[in-house]
Structure formats: structure tokens, C-alpha cells
């Protein structure tokens, strides 16, 4: 582990395993090149996150990219999350273009330049798959959060990630049907993504709870700056645990509580969230409701 400016840089055990396999099969140069590409990819994310003032706790390097552990996860604007997500693949685009130009100019060996450019393109394209925690999965989640309630966004991004993770595993063993050999690297990575998203499935209630905890602070900022409210209309019999599931990440809401076809009262979202969080501490609500 390496620490820089309070940020821990770690190699995920999966990355260490694939690096060892590369060394054992006589592919040391390829392993070192992969490490450099992944590191620069993740530094793209890091630079953009630091530009927005995010608090980064840890950078974990994986064979296909990496994961930033940040304090603000799920609580920052979708625009910032999208720009941080796309910054990694853009690094690979720049590296591939630089390698191609250097090979064309004769500054480096042409075959090495082609291989380096291909490796960058592969990592960039793989990262754009709609699977969490890949960049494509984060971009899909950002896009969905602008159109549907955030709780539904979390559920559907998890389901899409599980589906494509399973498809990745299936693709890795597909050659067996034609008498070929499976793609072991893809099988390992796909299995990791399946396990990661299965764990994420169980953690959705806690991810949503963190969103609600930070929501009040962002709501106060929106009110202070002036904002248009999007109404949520519910029956007086609808519990707060169901109403908070209707909150949009990028909207401020006023909740209109209806009784016999008339507005009984108007509840600001901050008051709604506070009431729901108090019910959790009092033991009157169950997080399993958010599964």
C-alpha cells in the first residue's frame, strides 16, 4: 500500500493474482504495461474527483481499472459523477492516440505501439460496459438518476449490472461449446463482477440510507440558492418509508398529502426525511423494505 496526500493506493487481490499469472507464463512486460495503463486510467478519475473537491479515502486498482473510495459516494450531483466516471476511459483514449502517433513517427517500435494502443482501447471499452463498479455502470446510474426516483435507480442499475456480469461469464466459457478453451482472464473478472454486484444487491438499503442522510444538507443548499420544487402527491395513508422512495436525486420536492381529494398539508422533503430517520432510530421502520 502507498499513501499520497492522505490517499491510500492499493492493489486488489484479483489484480495481484492476474499479475502473478502473467509473470508465471512469461508475460512480465505485458503485466508491467497493464499496471501502468490501469494506474494512469485511475489517475484520470482521481484528478477529476479532486478538481470537484471530493474527499478520496482510497484508490483500489483492479485489472480493468480501479475504484475510488470517496466520502461523497452517491451524494454528489450526477453531472460530477458522470465527468469523474468518463475521465478514466478518456485517459486510455489519449494514451492510445499518443502510442499510435509515436509509432507512426518512428519514435517507438511499431508493433509495441500497436499493442499498447490495443490494450488501452480494450480497457476503455471494457470499462464502458453497463456494469457496476465499471465506468459504464456508473454512467448508466447517473443517466437513470435524472429520470426516475433514486431508489429505483439503485435497484435497476444493480439488476442491469448482474445481468451483464452473468453475460460476461457466459461469454468467457462460450468457446467450450465449440471445443475451444475458455477465456480464463475474462472468466475471473466476470466472476468477480458477479460477486461484487450480488454483494451490492444486499447493500442497496444502506446505500439509499446514506443518500437520505446526506440529502438534508443538499436540500438546505438548494433552498438557500433558490430552486423550483417538484411536487410529490400522496395519500395520507402512505407511510414515510414509501414516500422517500419517490425522491429524485437531482430534484427538490414538496410532498402534498391528500385527504378525501383535498390537500391536507404540504411537507418539505427535509421534514419527511427527518421523520423517516427518526422512525428508524425508534425501531418503527425496517430497512428490508428498500430491497
Which residue numbers are catalytic?
Answer: 42
**What's the pLDDT score for residue 5?**
63
Band of residue 287 on the pLDDT scale cut at 50, 70, 90:
very low
Q: Which long-range contacts (CB under 8 A, 24 or more apart) does 36-41 make?
A: 37/92, 37/95, 37/116, 37/119, 37/120, 37/123, 38/62, 38/63, 38/64, 38/65, 38/66, 38/123, 40/91, 40/92, 40/95, 41/65, 41/66, 41/88, 41/89, 41/91, 41/92, 41/123, 41/124, 41/127
**What's the pLDDT score for residue 16?**
74
Band of residue 283 on the pLDDT scale cut at 50, 70, 90:
low
Residue 37 clears pLDDT 80, i.e. is over it: yes
| Domain spans, the chain | 1-128, 216-290
Residue 290 clears pLDDT 50, i.e. is over it: no
pTM of the model: 0.86
Band of residue 73 on the pLDDT scale cut at 50, 70, 90:
low
The C-alpha cell at 83 is 465527468
Max avg pLDDT among 61-65, 84-88, 208-212? 84-88
Residue 285 clears pLDDT 60, i.e. is over it: no
**What's the pLDDT score for residue 291?**
45
What's the N-to-C CA distance of the chain in angstroms?
A: 35
Band of residue 224 on the pLDDT scale cut at 50, 70, 90:
low
Residue 82 clears pLDDT 90, i.e. is over it: yes
Amino acid at each position: 500500500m502507498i499513501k499520497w496526500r492522505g490517499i491510500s493506493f492499493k492493489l486488489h487481490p484479483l489484480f495481484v493474482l492476474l499479475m502473478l499469472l502473467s509473470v508465471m507464463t512469461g508475460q512480465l512486460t505485458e503485466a508491467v504495461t497493464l499496471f501502468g495503463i490501469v494506474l494512469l486510467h485511475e489517475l484520470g478519475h482521481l484528478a477529476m474527483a479532486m478538481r470537484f473537491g471530493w474527499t478520496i479515502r482510497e484508490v483500489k486498482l483492479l485489472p480493468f481499472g480501479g475504484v475510488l473510495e470517496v466520502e461523497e459516494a452517491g451524494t454528489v450531483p450526477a453531472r460530477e459523477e458522470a465527468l469523474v466516471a468518463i475521465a478514466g476511459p478518456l485517459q486510455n483514449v489519449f494514451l492510445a492516440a499518443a502510442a499510435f502517433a509515436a509509432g507512426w513517427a518512428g519514435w517507438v517500435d511499431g508493433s509495441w505501439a500497436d499493442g499498447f494502443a490495443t490494450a488501452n482501447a480494450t480497457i476503455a471499452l471494457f470499462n464502458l460496459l453497463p456494469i457496476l463498479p465499471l465506468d459504464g455502470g456508473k454512467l448508466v446510474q447517473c443517466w437513470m438518476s435524472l429520470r426516475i426516483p433514486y431508489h429505483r435507480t439503485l435497484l435497476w442499475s444493480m439488476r442491469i449490472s448482474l445481468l451483464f456480469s452473468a453475460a460476461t461469464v457466459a461469454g468467457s466459457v462460450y468457446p467450450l461449446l465449440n471445443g475451444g478453451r475458455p477465456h480464463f482472464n475474462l472468466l475471473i473478472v466476470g466472476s468477480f463482477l458477479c460477486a461484487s454486484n450480488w454483494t451490492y444487491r444486499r447493500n442497496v438499503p444502506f446505500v439509499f440510507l446514506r443518500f437520505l442522510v446526506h440529502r438534508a444538507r443538499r436540500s438546505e443548499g438548494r433552498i438557500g440558492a433558490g430552486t423550483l420544487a417538484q411536487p410529490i402527491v400522496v395519500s395520507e395513508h402512505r407511510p414515510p418509508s414509501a414516500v422517500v422512495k419517490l425522491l429524485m436525486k437531482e430534484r427538490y420536492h414538496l410532498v402534498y398529502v391528500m385527504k378525501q381529494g383535498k390537500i391536507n398539508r404540504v411537507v418539505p422533503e427535509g421534514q419527511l426525511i427527518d421523520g423517516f430517520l427518526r422512525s428508524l432510530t425508534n425501531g418503527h421502520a425496517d430497512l428490508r423494505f428498500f430491497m
